Structure 1
Amino acid sequence: MRVVIAGAGIVGRSIARELLGNGHRVLLVDRSPAAMKISSVPDAQWLLADACEISSLDEAELADCDVVVAATGDDKANLVVSLLAKTEYGVPRTVARVNNPKNEWLFDEAWGVDVAVSTPRLMTALVEEAVSVGELVRLFTFQQGQTWMAEFTLEESSPVLGRTVGEVELPGDTVLVAIVRDDRPIAPSPDDQLEAGDHLMFLSSPDAEAALRTLLGKA
């Protein structure tokens, strides 16, 4: 897979190292000469250019890449890169970094964003997940499909406790994708009985959130 990353700061370089380690080809693009720390990610390709300009994206051969990651520290730049990647080059998948949570509502299909990643929101979610038993916690939002991943830790008073997965009628557009029990993931089967302390991982739509909360006992 060929990935173009706009923004060669700490975030962009970290993503590049992970992708390279997984066998992908990576091009880092940044307009700042100070960001050209080529020795820090020597296996990546590097391009000194403004990723918000068509000529730069032509040089980066965006039409031949599988994924574009907009990872700059500027939300406006990340939106522009995502939009150009989708509308001008037909890139199959775009992932955009959200720096300011107040701008998160902009990172959607209209701006060419498939997946928006908000570091502050993610950190908040992980904190809440660590301390909140019996609370439905959003972990990720996949903007284009209007789908989010959420986690719920079963408490003793949950109405679904002791029931099997097959006995629990989930709201529409909601899927139980995993149960984490004793720090081990379980692929849910209809016969699996739900226990106190189970971490339930759901994929769902925002419209189903209220019904899911009611089902789990958190209306």
Structure 2
Amino acid sequence: MKVLIAGAGSVGRSIARDLLEHGHEVLLMDHSPSAMRVAQVAEADWMLADACELTALREAAVETMDVVVAATGDDKANLVISFLAKTEFGVPRTVARVNNPRNEWMYDTQWGVDVAVSTPRIMTAMVEEAVAVGDLVKVFTFHQSGASIVEVTLPPTSPVVGALVREIQWPGEIVLSCIMRSDRTISPSPEDTLEARDELLFVMSAEADPELLAAVLRTPPGATSPTD
């Protein structure tokens, strides 16, 4: 996958390192010479240019990118970068950093933003996770589809603890996408067994009812309703 990251500050460089470790091609772009810390992410391509300018984006061949990440510290710039990437170059996926939570409402498809990442919102979710084991915590929402990712940490008392994934009937429009156990990340298979303190990540459509998922986590697997 080819990724352009606009904004080569600490956030952009961190994203670049992670993507490179996963085998992706990365171009880091920033308009500030002081941000050109090439030695810190030597495996990436670097470009000194303003990603808000069409000429710079054309020079970077943005139309060949699979993803554009607008990771600058300026919300206005991140919106412009996303808008240009989507409307002028048809980039399939845009991810934009939200610096000021008050501006989050603008990060939608009208500005070409597919995924808005708000650090304060993510931190809030992690705090909620730490104090609300067993509760569903929304991590973030995909603006284009309205789908969301939710997390739940299974308490020892959950009736699905000890059950095989194939034994649990998840509600419609809800998919178990990942099991995090200690320092392991598990792609769930039908034969995996859920354990106490597992962190489960679900992808839910906009139409899905989170209360139905919460009910499954409170109801013994395999139990039938009176109408079955």
TM-score bracket relative to the smaller structure: 0.7 to 0.9
CA distance in 2, matches of 1:6, 1:148: 25
Alignment-derived partner of residue 2 in structure 2:
2
Task: Report sequence identity in percent.
Answer: 60
CA distance in 2, matches of 1:29, 1:214: 43
CA, structure 1 residues 187+54, in 2 after alignment: closer, same or farther (shift >3 Å)?
A: same
Alignment-derived partner of residue 135 in structure 2:
135
Residue-pair matches, total: 216
Alignment-derived partner of residue 76 in structure 2:
76
CA distance in 1, matches of 2:197, 2:71: 36
Q: Does 1:150 align with 2:150?
A: yes
Would the aligned equivalents of 1:177 and 1:188 in 2 still touch at CA under 8 Å? no
Alignment-derived partner of residue 187 in structure 1:
188
Which has the larger displacement, 167-176 or 86-95? 167-176
Alignment-derived partner of residue 42 in structure 2:
42
CA distance in 1, matches of 2:25, 2:210: 42
CA distance in 1, matches of 2:51, 2:193: 51
**Equivalent residue runs for 1:1-219 within 5 Å:** 1-155=1-155, 169-180=169-180, 185=186, 187=188, 189=190, 197-212=197-212, 215=215, 216=217
Structure 1 portions without partners, runs of 5+: none
CA distance in 2, matches of 1:126, 1:165: 25
Would the aligned equivalents of 1:176 and 1:188 in 2 still touch at CA under 8 Å? no
What is the CA distance between 1:110 and its match in structure 2?
2.1
CA distance in 2, matches of 1:183, 1:35: 33
What is the CA distance between 1:192 and its match in structure 2?
6.7
Would the aligned equivalents of 2:145 and 2:206 in 1 still touch at CA under 8 Å? no
Would the aligned equivalents of 1:78 and 1:96 in 2 still touch at CA under 8 Å? yes
What is the CA distance between 1:120 and its match in structure 2?
1.6
Structure 2 portions without partners, runs of 5+: 219-228
CA, structure 1 residues 47+178, in 2 after alignment: closer, same or farther (shift >3 Å)?
A: closer
CA distance in 2, matches of 1:209, 1:123: 24
CA distance in 1, matches of 2:52, 2:182: 46
Deviations 1:91-113 (A, max 9, x none): 12211111122322322222212
CA distance in 2, matches of 1:173, 1:11: 33
Which has the larger displacement, 87-96 or 106-115? 106-115
Q: Secondary structure at the match of 2:80?
A: helix
Would the aligned equivalents of 2:165 and 2:188 in 1 still touch at CA under 8 Å? no
TM-score, structure 1 normalization: 0.82
Would the aligned equivalents of 1:9 and 1:35 in 2 still touch at CA under 8 Å? yes
CA distance in 2, matches of 1:196, 1:20: 33
What is the CA distance between 1:196 and its match in structure 2?
5.1
Amino acid at match of 1:11: V
TM-score, structure 2 normalization: 0.79
